[in-house]
């Protein structure tokens, strides 16, 4: 069955437009509950968490109603990072975790994503089952089978202790001054507490959510606020999370920003695993450096769920994306910005070396990214002029650079990325491809 509502990270869209409307939330909860019961679970229990968007109240109530109508009990935890929902679902031996969040998007958007009983993102096949159940998701089970709902009051405290447990007991963050940017999101109460309780002097920013300011000029997708705060407070490091706290950006005392590709490289060089999973967008310099160090490197499709699938398939533990999704499967079952930050700080404390020092051996290749809007009916794969330009660009790069052509999954746009040590050459090649595509 084709996927009508689920994208690469659950269901997402603009609030007030389908599918992010209350009636769909009710049907989605009902359909997911029916899928759980069809799998043989007689009285499934579902954990529901959310970020700080004002629309979270509406969707939380709709999902609660849908699950209860299908015969599922519901545990509500309120604002909690996405990886916190994954952890508690697993720790409490529940049957499903649900997160109401649009991650790094503005407050006008929202979304719904699911986690398995083991705390991992569910496969496409499970989402297809839910899609198939949506048309008939109505009514309710007999009164004696209806679900109940309760709130878990100590959810934040439980998750704080879990995050702290991923940091070695014999080490401390005492002596470090940290700026923690919570993006006015789900980690606003949790992240500052984690780093403070491990000994750091913490300055929190982006920690005053009002339902409308999530990710607004703060957080992992807007790191300028963090850079300014680190410099103003003379902090050692700055930590930026996004709205649901599953991605990370780091800044050092000089305002130097470390992206996800660099963090992945640093963790790999510190741990030396047999293999590492990146994505189609991971910088070529990282791949070459890891291979030179004796590690295998594999690229997955863009999206942390696909990185996870590749890790599980190969039995590896470390993967990530340039956006800051870092997966450390020896620490957590899903990407976790707080846990990833703790592993980076542990490395700094243990080695006594700054991140810049540890990154000295690799320099990322500049990437040129262009979005070319396609006219309706354009088949870029059979475009003769584009094919010729692509061959010319590959010959020009001569194996010392990389071209990635990727159609958007949400709009009629072709994304062109050219990567080369010479940024001017990369820009010329990307523009050559874009110009060729615009010609009939």
**pLDDT band (50, 70, 90) for residue 379:** confident
Please give the Cα distance from 166 to 386 (Å, whole number): 49
pLDDT for 410 equals: 58
Buried b (16+ CB within 10 A) or exposed e, 252-261: bbeeeebbbb
What pLDDT is recorded for position 437?
87
pLDDT at 73 exceeding the cut of 70: yes
Taking CA 427 as the corner, what is the angle to CA 425 and CA 433, rounded to the nearest 5 degrees?
Answer: 105
Q: What is the pLDDT of residues 198-224, one digit of tens each?
A: 999 999 999 999 999 999 999 999 999
What confidence tier does 1 reach under pLDDT thresholds 50, 70, 90? very low
From the DSSP assignment, how many helices (H) and strands (E) are in the chain?
14, 19
pLDDT tens sequence across 35-54:
999 999 989 999 999 999 99
Q: CATH 3.40.120.10 region(s) of the chain?
A: 6-155, 176-256, 259-362
First to last CA, the chain: 35
pLDDT at 377 over 90: no
Task: List pLDDT tens digits, range 258-276.
Answer: 999 999 999 999 999 999 9
Angle 423-438/384-397 helices, nearest 10 degrees? 170
Per-residue pLDDT band at 169 (split at 50, 70, 90): very high
Q: Give the pLDDT of residue 409.
A: 62
Beta-bridge partners for 98 = 48, 114
Distance CA 300, CA 331 (A): 21
The CATH code of the domain at 6-155 is 3.40.120.10
Give the percent of the chain with pLDDT over 70. 99
3-state SS assignment for residue 209: coil
User: Considering the chain, what is the average pLDDT of its residues?
Assistant: 95
Catalytic residues: 103
Does 407 or 2 have the greater pLDDT score? Answer: 407
* The CATH number, out of the four listed (2.40.50.140, 3.30.360.10, 3.30.420.40, 3.30.310.50), of the domain defined by the range 367-438: 3.30.310.50
Q: Is the backbone peptide bond immediately before 151 cis, with ω within 30 degrees of 0? A: no
CATH domain 259-362 topology: Alpha-D-Glucose-1,6-Bisphosphate; Chain A, domain 3 (3.40.120)
CATH architecture of 176-256: 3-Layer(aba) Sandwich (3.40)
For 389-412, write each residue's pLDDT tens digit. Answer: 999 999 999 888 999 998 876 567
């Amino acid at each position: 069955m084709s996927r009508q509502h689920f994208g690469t990270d659950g269901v997402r869209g603009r609030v007030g437009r389908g599918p992010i409307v209350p009636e769909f939330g009710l049907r989605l909860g009902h359909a997911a509950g029916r899928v759980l019961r069809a799998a043989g679970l007689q009285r499934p229990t579902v954990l529901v968490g959310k970020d700080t968007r004002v629309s979270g109240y509406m969707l939380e109530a709709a999902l609660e109603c849908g699950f209860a109508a299908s015969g599922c009990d519901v545990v509500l935890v309120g604002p909690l990072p996405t990886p916190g929902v994954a952890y508690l679902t697993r720790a409490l031996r529940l049957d499903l975790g649900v997160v109401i969040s649009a991650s790094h998007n503005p407050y006008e958007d929202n979304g719904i994503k699911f986690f398995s009983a083991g705390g991992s993102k569910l496969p496409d096949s499970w989402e297809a089952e839910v899609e198939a159940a949506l048309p008939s998701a109505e009514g309710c089970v007999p009164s004696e089978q209806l679900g109940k709902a309760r709130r878990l009051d100590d959810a934040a405290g439980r998750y704080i202790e879990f995050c702290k447990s991923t940091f070695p007991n014999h080490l401390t963050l005492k002596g470090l001054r940290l700026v923690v940017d919570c993006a006015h999101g789900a980690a606003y109460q949790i992240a500052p507490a984690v780093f403070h309780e491990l000994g750091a002097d913490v300055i929190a920013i982006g920690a005053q959510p009002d339902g409308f300011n999530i990710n607004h000029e703060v957080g992992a997708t807007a790191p300028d606020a963090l850079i300014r705060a680190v410099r103003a407070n003379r902090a050692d490091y700055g930590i930026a999370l996004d709205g649901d706290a599953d991605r990370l950006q780091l800044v050092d005392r000089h305002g130097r920003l470390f992206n996800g590709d660099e963090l992945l490289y640093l963790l790999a060089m510190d741990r030396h695993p047999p293999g590492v999973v990146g994505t189609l967008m991971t910088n070529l310099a990282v791949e070459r450096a890891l291979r030179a160090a004796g590690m295998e490197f594999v690229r997955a499709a863009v999206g942390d769920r696909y990185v996870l699938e590749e890790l599980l398939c190969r039995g590896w533990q470390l993967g990530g994306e340039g956006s800051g999704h870092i997966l450390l499967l020896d620490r957590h079952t899903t990407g976790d910005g707080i846990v990833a930050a703790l592993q980076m700080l542990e490395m700094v404390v243990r080695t006594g070396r700054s991140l810049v020092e540890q990154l000295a051996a690799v320099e990322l290749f500049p990437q040129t990214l262009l979005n070319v809007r396609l006219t309706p009916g354009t088949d870029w794969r059979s475009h003769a002029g584009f094919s010729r330009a692509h061959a010319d660009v590959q010959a020009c790069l001569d194996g010392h650079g990389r071209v990635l052509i990727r159609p958007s999954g949400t709009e009629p746009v072709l994304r062109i990325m050219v990567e080369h040590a010479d940024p001017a050459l990369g820009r010329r090649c990307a523009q050559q491809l874009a110009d060729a595509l615009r010609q009939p």
